[in-house]
Amino acid sequence: MTTRTMQFRIYRYDPDKDERPYMQDISVEVDSTDRKLLDALTKLKAKDETIAYRRSCREGVCGSDAMNINGKNGLACLTELDSLKHPIVLKPLPGLPVIRDLVVDMTQFFKQYHSIKPYLVNNDPPPERERLQTPEEREELNGLYECILCACCSTSCPSFWWNPDKFVGPAGLLAAYRFLADTRDQATSERLDNLEDPYRLFRCHTIMNCVDVCPKGLNPTRAIGKIRDMMVARAV
């Protein structure tokens, strides 16, 4: 089996022993079956077990292993090793407090997600069977419900960096539109009221970093535009 060497520069910080963060140079041998960055990280961890990062499904659906890879946010499990320039520079997602190494504190990210009331609101007594929805109505949710909450988008957004406590951010706004677009949801005006604010929605300056980094190919900017349209429509 042919092996190749991967050179890494990894952000390291363990508050239990390090006074300040540093970049560690380290390399690892991988073989031909190691196709993704996560495969190399797994080998690296067998060599140095102190490197901390999150990972779970290793197939791009759980959203655990988001990190900053050669300057761009992405999922380690979906990033092709051979596409990366050496040394491969790995840093934690930008803009969130670092807990240790590549593990960030995502409290602020989830707080914003929770702030948009991410659940269906329908106050009618539930029918005995499913609520009906045409295939066309259901199609409106495509490109919205698939979000894996990895935070690649929000942590690549300058508006979120500056105002993580006030601006909902692309992931939260995508989720907000997912419910606004659902014909079964009855909380449209409350949802719009909740975002009618100089920061929560309107801090989006359509820089579109979110679209550029989303590992699922989703488009939060378009969803944000649709929410703005709904705001305008109800104002006139």
Partner 1 sequence: MSVPILKFDAVVVGAGGAGLRSAIQLSEAGLKTAVLSKVFPTRSHTVAAQGGVAASLGNSEEDHWRWHMYDTVKGSDWLGDQDSIEYMCKKAVEVVVDLEHYGMPFDRIDNGKIYQRPFGGHMSNFGEKPVRRACAAADRTGHAMLHAMYQRNVKANTQFFVEWMALDLILDAEGVVVGVSAMEMETGQIVIFHARAVIFATGGSGRIFAFSTNAFINTGDGLGMAARAGVPLEDMEFWQFHPTGVAGAGVLITEGVRGEGGILRNAKNERFMERYAPNAKDLASRDVVSRAMTTEIKEGRGCGPNKDYVLLDITQLEPEKIMKRLPGIREISIQFAGVDPIKAPIPVVPTAHYQMGGIPTSYDGRVVALGADGGNVVVPGFYAAGECACASVHGANRLGTNSLLDLLVFGKSAGDSALEDLKGGKAHRELPKDAADRARERIDAIDRRRGGVSVHEARQAIARAMQDHAGVFRFADLLHKGVAQILEVEKMVRNLEIKDKSLVWNTARVEALETENLIEVAKATMISAEARKESRGAHVRDDAPDTPEFPNGRNDKEWLKHSLWYREGNRVAYKPVRLKPLTVETVALKTRSY
Task: Please say which residue, 47 or 162, places its beta carbon nearer to partner 1.
Answer: 47
Q: Which is nearer to partner 1, 159 or 177 (CB)?
A: 177
Rounded to the nearest whole angstrom, what is the least distance from the CB of residue 133 to partner 1 in the complex?
Answer: 5
Which residues, 6+ apart, have CB-to-CB distance to 22 below 8 Å? 12, 13
In angstroms, give the least distance from the CB of 3 to partner 1: 16
- Residues recorded for the chain: 236
Closer Cβ to partner 1, 80 or 233, answer by number: 80
Residue 210 Cβ vs partner 1, minimum distance, rounded to whole Å = 19
Q: Which is nearer to partner 1, 190 or 206 (CB)?
A: 190
- 89 forms beta bridges with 9
| Minimum CB–partner distance for residue 228 and partner 1 (Å) | 23
How many other C-beta atoms are found inside a 10 Å radius of the C-beta of residue 213?
21
Distance CA 58, CA 42 (A): 11
The CB-of-164 to partner 1 minimum distance in angstroms stands at 18
Contact 112, 169 (CB under 8 A): yes
| H-type alpha helices, 23-182 | 37-47, 107-115, 135-139, 158-162, 169-180
Answer whether 96's CB lies under 8 Å from 104's CB: yes
* Residue (123 or 235) nearer to partner 1, CB: 123
CB of 30 to partner 1, least distance (A): 14
Report the sign of the C-alpha dihedral through residues 83, 87, 93, 99, in that order: positive
CA nearest to 153, candidates 68, 27, 86: 68
Contact positions vs partner 1 (CB under 8 A): 14-17, 33, 35, 45-46, 49-50, 52-64, 78, 99-101, 103, 106, 110, 114, 117-120, 122, 126, 128-135, 137-138, 141, 145-146, 148-149, 179, 182, 184-185
| Residue placing its CB nearer to partner 1 in the complex, 61 or 89 | 61
